[in-house]
Amino acid sequence: MINVGTGYRLDQLQVTARISTSTPERSQDLGDNNASASIDVLRPNVYVDATGPSRIVAQGSVFWYVLDYGNLYRSRPALTRAAEQVILRATLPDEVRYAGADRAPGR
């Protein structure tokens, strides 16, 4: 079992192993005494982008915010890992009234 720290930034782990013995081996038999392997590191990357109008007119405007979210390890998409228990929160300005959303919030 290997635990990778949350701060690990590389996309692969390199593992090397070497075996030796005090009993003499023939030189031509030493070639299989070393082995290495690389392991891809999978990671989640949840993201959210918000878009909305930069200016609205002051006359009882109805407008909308759009939240684009997802899970994508951008530099190596194939190494994206599923993200569990994802929570998305939006904080509305005090001056607006929530009118609805195309996906109802849980609270």
Partner 1 sequence: MSGQLLEWNLGTLAPRSAGRITIVVQTNVPAGATLDFSTVISTRTVGDDPADNRDGLQTLVVQPPTAIPALNGDLRLAVRSELDPNSRDSNPRNGVYVSGGTAITWPTGEVLDLTPRIADLDLGSALPWPYEYRVNVVGWSIERVIVNGQPRAPYDPDSRNRAGCRSGRTSDGTAKLLQGCVYGYVQGASREQIENGYVPSEAELRDQAHFYWTQPPAPPMRNDVYLYTVSPLRAVQLRVQVEIAVQIVNAYPGAPIDDPSLPPIPIVPLPDPEHRLLSQQFDINLLVPRSVIGPGQ
Would you give the binding string for partner 1 spanning residues 43-82, x where CB under 8 A is met? xxxxxxxxxxxxxxxxxxxxxxxxxxxxxxx---x--xxx
The least CB distance from residue 11 to partner 1, in Å, is: 11
Cβ(79)–Cβ(43) below 8 Å: yes
- Shortest Å distance, C-beta 39 to partner 1: 14
Angle at 60 between CA 59 and CA 61, to 5 degrees: 95
* Contacting residues for 47 by C-beta, under 8 A, at least 6 apart: 69, 70, 71, 72
Instruction: Pick out residues in 9-38 that bind partner 1 (CB under 8 A).
Output: none
Q: Provide the binding-site residues for partner 1, judged by CB under 8 A.
A: 4, 6, 8, 41-73, 77, 80-103, 105-107
